[in-house]
Structures are given as C-alpha cells and as structure tokens.
Amino acid sequence: MAKPLSFSAFVMNTASHIIHGLWRDEEGNQAYFNDVDVWVNLAKRLDEGGFDTIFFADVIGLYGDHKGGWEFLAENGLQIPSNDPMVLMSALAVNTKRLGLAFTAAPLQEHPFNFARRVSTLDHISKGRIAWNVVTGFQENAFRNFGFDGLYQHDERYRWADEYVDVLYKLWEGSWDEGALLKDRESGVYADSNRIHKINHVGERYQVEGPHLSAPSPQRTPVIFQAGSSAAGRNFAARNAEAIFIVTPSPEVAREVIKDTRRIAEENGRDGNDIKFYQGLSFVIGDTEEEALRKEIKLEEKIDIDMMVAHLAGGLGIDMGNLPLDTPLEVIETDGVRSIAEWVQQSTPGRVPTIEDLARLQGKTTRIVGTPESIADQLERWQEAGVDGINVINATIPGSYEEFIDKVIPVLRERGLARAENEEATTLRHKLFGEDRLNERHPAAQYRGAFATKSVTN
C-alpha cells in the first residue's frame, strides 16, 4: 500500500496570487478576499476534505515596476491590496479541527520577541496547528517600507534570518522548562519561576533579555516551512526547515533537488527524512481526457499573461513590461529572486528561456491536466521521486479545491495516496512526523535546558 501524500492549499489573502486574472472570472471568489467568510468556508472544506494545511503566502511590499511604474499592480489586483495572514489565523483556528494553518513572514516585519509571542498565542488558539513559512524578503519596496535604503544583498538576508530564528528558538524552546506551568490553586502558584529563564541574547542585530511571555504551546516551535532554492536558501532550509516547498518542472528534477537538500541536512547533523518536500502543482480536472484538455484551453484564455510577466519579473527586480515576449532571459541580469530564474532554466532544457517562458512558469509547466485517474498516476510519479506532499495552486477559490476534493481525493484514497477521512485531530507536527515537538536533531533543541541557571526543586 502506498504511503499517503500530504496536501496543502497554497493561497494568499489577496485577489490575484499565482494564476493571474482569474479573479475576474465569475467563480473567482478570491475577488472578495476581505470577507472572512470566504476563508472560513474554504478552511472548513479543506479540513473535511483531506488537506493537511492551508498555506498563506504573503508580501510586505510592491513587486517591481511594470511598464514604468507600480500602478499596473494595483489596477490589476496583483497582490495589492493584500491583508496580513497572521490575523486571519485566529478565525480559521476556531472554525477548524484538524487543518494545519501556515503563514508567511520575514524577519524584516517584526522584532523576534513580539513575533515569538504572537506565534505562541496562535499555536495555543489552534491547539498546535500553526506553521511558519520563513522568508527573507526580496522586494525593494518592502525594505524601504521598513526604513532601509533598499534591498539587502541575497546572502546577507539569510545571515539576518539565521540570527532571527536563533532568538526565536531560545524563546520557544529554552525560556520555559517542561513543568513550569503549574496552575496550582491550592498553593496559589501559577508558574514555577525556577523553571522560567531569561535568554539574554546579544547578537549582531538583536538584544533580547526575555523571558518568553507565553507559556509553552502544544508545539512550542511552530512547524518550520521554507521555500528558498538558491544555495543560501537551501542551506538555511536544510538546517532549519521541516517542510520545503519546491516548484520543479519534472519529477526527475525534483528527485535531484530533494536528494541534494537531504544530503546538506545530514551534513548539519539532521536526518534527511526530518524534512518533507512539497511540490507546487495546479490541476485541470475532467471526466475524460478530452474534457480536461478543453478546460485547459478555456483556462489559458482567462490567464492574464501580462500579469504573469509583472509578477515573476517583479520578483527578479526588473521591469519587463515593455520587452517582447520572445526576449531571452539570459540578456537580463538581476540580483532578485535567483531561484525563479533557475526554475525557468530547468523547465526549458535544450534552449534559451524567454520572457514568455517566465510568464508561464507557475502555469503550464507545473500543471497536471487529465482525469482523476491519470492525475493520480502522475502524483505517483512525483511520490516515487521523493516528494512527500503537493502544494495545490488554485485558479479559483473555492472552485479549484472543491473540484480536487470531490473528484481526485477519492481516487487517491483508493490507492492509499491520501489520508483516510476524518482522522483524529492532532498537532500539525504530529500529523506530519508523529510527535508534537521538534526532534533532538533540530538546531532549536540545543536550547532545551540551556538557560537553567537556578536550582530546580520539585
């Protein structure tokens, strides 16, 4: 019997996220992303339909200019306006039972002391279902929004992230010992101060005395997600991540990426299986192959290629809005998101990739078209390549997920490729790894008991 894949719904609290232009479609309820009911209803459907996680992407600034300015982004709803996914987590937590709740945030956004407290609060509210996707930020506008002159160099952003997570690990794992929270009405002692510790972190960027103000949540540290595929990003992920999101053009490429990242993890004292890999894919589903192909043609007609160029070129930090679609990418140099350019190159073997290839990167090259049975066949190939889960990209909300749940999940369950219905509610980490807390191989574990300077009495 095959091992079940893990399924994550890849969304963003905005009108147009990855497959652009579909908010204009009558089924594109993402146009009403400000309405909390859109997300609560979707989360409930995912919770009941076999998904492990709803994963919110996020940005804290505009993408680069397109056609000479930023106005195009707002006019087309391209990730502006957008809302803070962390705030939304509370509403989703109290309206679901099993669904993992993942959000994206960068060190740039918030001091680690306050961030640690907010995450712990969410983990308490959700009873241990929170995950954090660690990003370093790649937009010039985002850095200027927080008082910097411009974008930090790529590897320097990861150095910043290294210290940021180090502070968080100290707070989440080391500040409170197990058993510190007593809630003893008879003695009148709520918490044992001998088991609560200041961390006294002094680093290049941060000085944090502590202690952590929140008592340990069900997971202590949230499940750590990461998506960087540059050398620095993969090294960071290999050291810290429990789940890594990849967007590779084929199972063969995925196999090599996974193998190499697990090797790096082992070099850092971890087990390669400490990390789950999720491939980003979208789906066009038909009762017959012919119907699926017809639906794909209609989808292609609805996708706004100009928005696709604006999004992905903006990530590269360059305005391609006035360049012909057949312009070779090799003539365009940038210090933006290197991984995007690498993915495009992987998806066009044997020829020089163009701007149009870039525009279709998150579309056709990572799309599976077919019947539920043929889609299941393809997902088996991804699993054989080492992929543990699928990050399902939507064209419309909730339609893309409802169709996947209604048509594909039952076939996957028959083959053992999807979890059984209505499994017991657990923490997200327990669902993925069989335990509530980080294992001893994770770098955060070194801080357990590290600040216990006082004598502990029972």
Q: Is the pLDDT of residue 318 over 50?
A: yes
Tokens representing 100?
């993992």
H helical segments located in 127-177: 140-145, 154-169
pLDDT interval class at 457 (50, 70, 90): very low
Rounded to 5 degrees, what are φ and ψ at 369?
-120, 125
* Longest CA pairwise span in the chain (Å): 76
What does the pLDDT average to over 356-373? 84
pLDDT interval class at 137 (50, 70, 90): confident
Tokens representing 378?
């393809």
Kindly list the distances between the CA atom of residue 409 and the CA atoms of 42, 48, 52, 393, 405, in Å, as whole numbers in the listed order: 16, 11, 13, 15, 5
pLDDT interval class at 269 (50, 70, 90): very high
- In single-letter form, the type of residue at position 236 comes to F
Q: Just give the CATH number of 6-287+367-447.
A: 3.20.20.30
CA distance 96 to 41: 10
Q: How many CB atoms lie within 10 A of CB 317?
A: 18
Q: pLDDT value at position 1? A: 59
Q: Provide the sign of the torsion angle of the four alpha carbons 90, 275, 12, 145, taken in this order.
A: positive
The helix, strand and coil proportions of the chain, stated in percent and rounded to the nearest 5, come to 45, 15, 40
99-108, 150-159, 191-200: which has the minimum mean pLDDT?
150-159
Rounded to 5 degrees, what are φ and ψ at 421?
-65, 145
Q: Look at the chain and count its residues.
A: 458
Kindly list the distances between the CA atom of residue 354 and the CA atoms of 114, 257, 373, in Å, as whole numbers in the listed order: 43, 23, 33
Burial class (CB in 10 A: 0-12, 13-18, 19+), 407: middle
Q: How many CB atoms lie within 10 A of CB 435?
A: 12
What does the pLDDT average to over 344-362? 74
Give residues with Cβ within 8 angstroms of 69, minimum separation 6: none
| DSSP-assigned letter for residue 317 | T
Q: pLDDT value at position 29? A: 96
CA distance 296 to 283: 9
- In single-letter form, the type of residue at position 272 comes to G
Give residues with Cβ within 8 angstroms of 29, minimum separation 6: 38, 396, 397, 398, 399
Strands (E) in 214-306, as ranges, are: 223-226, 243-246, 276-285
Return the residue matching tokens 């794909």: 296
- 81-85-91 Cα angle (round to 5): 120
Q: Look at residue 347 and give its three-state secondary structure.
A: helix
Q: pLDDT value at position 368? A: 97
- Considering the chain, what percentage of its residues have pLDDT values greater than 70? 95
Residue predicted with more confidence, 312 or 250 = 250
Strands 201-202 and 207-208: antiparallel
pLDDT interval class at 342 (50, 70, 90): low
Return the residue matching tokens 């620095």: 232
Per-residue pLDDT of 141-158, as tens digits, reads 999 999 999 999 988 999
Tokens representing 152?
């930090």
Per-residue pLDDT of 7-58, as tens digits, reads 999 999 999 999 999 999 999 999 999 999 999 999 999 999 999 999 999 9
Q: Is the pLDDT of residue 400 over 80?
A: yes
CA distance 8 to 278: 8
Say how far residue 398 (Cα) sits from the centre of its chain.
19
Average pLDDT value over all residues in the chain: 92
Q: 329-354: buried (b, 16+ CB within 10 Å) or exposed (e) per residue? A: beeeeeebbbbbbebbebbbeeeebb
Q: pLDDT value at position 266? A: 97
Q: pLDDT value at position 283? A: 98
CB distance 17 to 29 below 8 Å: no
Q: pLDDT value at position 337? A: 43
What does the pLDDT average to over 106-118? 97
24-38, 189-203, 329-343: which has the minimum mean pLDDT?
329-343
CA distance 65 to 69: 5
- In single-letter form, the type of residue at position 45 comes to R
CB distance 17 to 363 below 8 Å: no
The CA dihedral of 390, 394, 397, 400, to the nearest 10 degrees, is: -70
Q: pLDDT value at position 331? A: 74
What does the pLDDT average to over 204-226? 98
Kindly list the distances between the CA atom of residue 394 and the CA atoms of 355, 366, 398, 439, in Å, as whole numbers in the listed order: 23, 12, 8, 33
Q: How many CB atoms lie within 10 A of CB 304?
A: 19
